[in-house]
Every structure is written in C-alpha cells, then in structure tokens.
Amino acid sequence: MLGLACAACLGRRGGLRAYSALTSNLAPFTNPSEKERNSAVTLVRGEGVHVWDDQGNKYLDGLAGLWSNALGNGNERVIGAAHAQLKKLAYQHTFWNRTTDIAEEYTRRLVDFASHRGVVQTFMSCGGSDANDTNVKLAWYYWNAVGQPSRKTVIARHGAYHGVTITASSMSGLDSIHKGYGPLPLPWVRHVSTPHYWRNGLPGETEEEYSSRLAKELEDLILREGPETIAAFIAEPVMGAGGVIPPPKGYFQKIQPILQKYDILFILDEVITAFGRLGERFGSDFFDIQPDLYTVAKAMSSSYYPLGAALITERVADAIKDQANKFGVFGHGYTYGGHPVACAIGLECLNIYEETSIWDHVKLMTPTFQLTLKQLETHPLVGEVRGEGFMLAIEFVSDKATKAPLGTSVPPATILANECMKNGLLVRSTGNVVVLAPSLVFTMENFQELFSKLKASFDSFDQIVYKELPDLPRE
C-alpha cells in the first residue's frame, strides 16, 4: 500500500527537491529509499478542511487526515477543552482504582451514547490498533472465565484492516502489512473471503446469493476448525483501507445467525465508521449489526489527540468482572489509556456531534457526494465507484468486462493522487483504488471544490495514462 506522502513525492507542485541523506523519521507506509531521494510533503498549517504545506500550497483534505479529522482543523471548542484540561490536570493514569474526574465523566457519556447498542462499559486505549488488541484479549478472557479456554482462534477477512500491532496486523488481511515480518499472520488467525460482490460475485449470482455463499464459507471454516476453538469473528461494517468495500445485500444478516449458532463472539471494528461517517451514530446502526465488542477511535477525538476504546456489552462485562475477582485484578492497561486531555477532547467532540446531530448532516450530503462521483463509472478506465456515507472508492480497470487491473508503470491510483495534489486536493492511493473520506463537516461548497479539482485531475490523468498505454479503450 502506498501512503500519499510517498506518492506525492513523484508529483508535488513546485518541483522535486533533492534529499539524499538518511531521514530521521522512518515514515509509516512509505518507501524509505523514496524519502531519501525526495523530501516529504511537509504540512504546516490547517484551517477547517484545508491544509497548507511549507511551500505555501493549499490543499482540500479529501481524506480527513486518515479518515479521522471529522471536525477539520482549528475547532475552537475542542482546542479550548484541551487547553483547559492541560491547565487543570495534564496527566494522571487510571490504574489501581485511581482515576480522574474527566475520565469518569467521559466514559459515562460514551456508555450513554452507545447504550442503545447494548454497551455497558468501556476500556480506554490510545487508538484503533491497541483497542482491537484489547478486544481480542477480552474475548480470550471471557472464554476462560466461562470455562471454555480452548476458544482462541479469531476469524477475520481477507482485505480487512484492523491495525498494525502484532495482533491487529495478523487479523488484517492485507499482504502489504505481513511482508517482511516472518510469522505473520499469527497461527491462531484464520481468514475468509473479502465480501466484494462486484469483484467476486459469480455470473448470474445475486447479491443475496453471494452473501449466502460467504455465510456458508464461514460456517464451513468453523466446522473444520471446531466451534469449540473459535473465540471471535472480527469485521468492519465497511472495509476501509482494503478499498472501501460495503457488504453485499444481506451479508451481516446471514453472518450473525451463524456466529450465534456456534456461540462465537462478534467484534465490530468501528474505528472508521463510528460517530457519523455513514450517516448514523454507528455503522452497526446503519447495517443493523449487534456485536459483543466494539472498537472505536479516529473521529472519537477528531484526531486532535490519540484516543481509542473497546466498548463492551453486558455479557462480556459480567464475565470479565467474575474472572478478575478470581485473580484479584484485571491485568491489562495502557499508560495513556484514559488520558485526561484525551478524555476532555473526546468529551467535547461528543458534545459537538450530539448538539449538531452531525450524522444527519452526513446523511443529507451523502447523495451529493456518492451520486455525483458515481457518474465516473462512465469513464472507460473506471470499473467501479462504491461506498456508503462519507466513504468512497474509485477502482481502475483496463477492461470493464474482465475487470482486469490497469497495469500502468506507476499504479493508476497513484497517478491520480499525484495529479490531485498538483490541483490542491489530498486523496489516498491504494494501487488500483483511489479513496476519498472527507471530514464530516464538509459543506456543499467544499464538495463543489472537491468535484472541480477531481475533474481537472482526471483530465491530466487521462493524458498520462493514454500516452503510456495508447491502446486502452477510450469510450
């Protein structure tokens, strides 16, 4: 997977800058050699949904940072909450029955916010990866508590992304985060198919039939492994980093009964979808999913501060309490879990989301975003435009009938991302797929700017691609 910073080095406005020395920052999802040759794009300022680099270039952020800067930059209420908390109490932990007033207030509010989904308790972390790790540990702890210690296997999906810690990257179904590390994924993780109907549906197969086939694949795997060995199934409501893949019709309605049949815990990774991105409070609201454990992060603090959490339903919470009583302590925690500044920021973000019903704004603007860009499917090299809410992907193909990838020397999504950057728009490149996920406060004016910049970028994209591959279809 190519991060935008790496891709941007190839086509940055204002020309390239020589940079041969080894850089001090080993940048994530970036080719270190590329960073040595060309300096990274250095962003220095942000106002709302725009950011500026150190050369004075202004960009519309079409990805909300990393799906996460829901309120944009410079929100005075969030800044004020952080400043006030820093002056009052900059840090204390929540270990050993010690806590802070702000951590208690925020977690109570968070439970109230998610109570309609059966949540009764939270466990605070610093982001999505460690929250997903926590949920796996909670699942293991639960099964030990109820006398089924053989349940350790976690089933995930190819194409999923759950983070980059050892557990989270093992559950993720992306080769790019497994290569070079040796024993990844870990041996207690199994993967089932990516639920991508456009790419993997059989000729004549309906979406419902495809969902039934995937449900059978899951059940067959459970029976092969032995239900008594399966701890949990983990899924994103809409696959994010794997290419913005919404589930086919009926998918979760067919998956959930199988998990219930074999009494398997369901972990729902809502790191991207929670707090409004699909036009509902949670992705579970949007798709009518009822998991046992939730993972949240990103928009939780609008990325003004590292913050994540495991949200725990009553079934799991009760068993954890009983098990911890046996040992005298629940042996898990993070130095910065429940950090007072993080909690103050999270609380103010939650206040803003609820006061403005930000999910209703997303729901209102979704047709403008989704239907306008859906028209790009008429482009001869675009195979599919897909998404839900404020999540959208554009996938390139060389042949619409066969859905063969577009084999340019530089990945086509990177070419488009470079051209977008030249035109002052930040998007994400993942090989053959371009991803957009704007901040939840995007206005009609912001969308019009996005559409205009994207159209200009497609015009120059066409020139580059057809010059390299002149025999590609043009109509």
Q: Which residue has the higher pLDDT, 356 or 41?
A: 356
Per-domain boundaries in the chain: 4-74+358-468, 76-356
User: Would you state the pLDDT for residue 11?
Assistant: 41
Of the options 3.90.1150.10, 1.10.620.20, 3.20.20.140, 3.30.300.30, the CATH number for the domain spanning 4-74+358-468? 3.90.1150.10
The answer to whether the CB of 280 falls within 8 A of the CB of 117 is no
**Longest CA–CA separation in the chain, Å:** 70
Beta-ladder partners of 192 = 157
- pLDDT interval class at 33 (50, 70, 90): confident
The CATH T-level fold of domain 76-356 is Aspartate Aminotransferase; domain 2 (3.40.640)
Rounded average pLDDT over 281-310: 98
CB-count exposure of residue 288 (10 Å: 0-12, 13-18, 19+):
exposed
Residue 49, helix vs strand vs coil: coil
Give all strands (DSSP E) within 298-342, no chain letters: 308-313
- Each residue's pLDDT tens digit, 344-398: 999 999 999 999 999 999 999 999 999 999 999 999 999 999 999 999 999 999 9
- pLDDT interval class at 24 (50, 70, 90): confident
Rounded average pLDDT over 102-115: 98
User: Would you state the pLDDT for residue 161?
Assistant: 97
User: Would you state the pLDDT for residue 298?
Assistant: 98
- Range from 16-20, 222-226, 268-272, 436-440 carrying the lowest mean pLDDT: 16-20
Of 55, 47, 418, the closest CA to residue 427 belongs to 418
Predicted TM-score (pTM) of this structure: 0.93
Tell me the one-letter amino acid at 126: C
Rounded average pLDDT over 38-49: 92
User: Would you state the pLDDT for residue 19?
Assistant: 41
The Cα 368–Cα 366 span in angstroms is 5
The Cα 131–Cα 7 span in angstroms is 29
- Each residue's pLDDT tens digit, 217-272: 999 999 999 999 999 999 999 999 999 999 999 999 999 999 999 999 999 999 99
The answer to whether the CB of 1 falls within 8 A of the CB of 434 is no
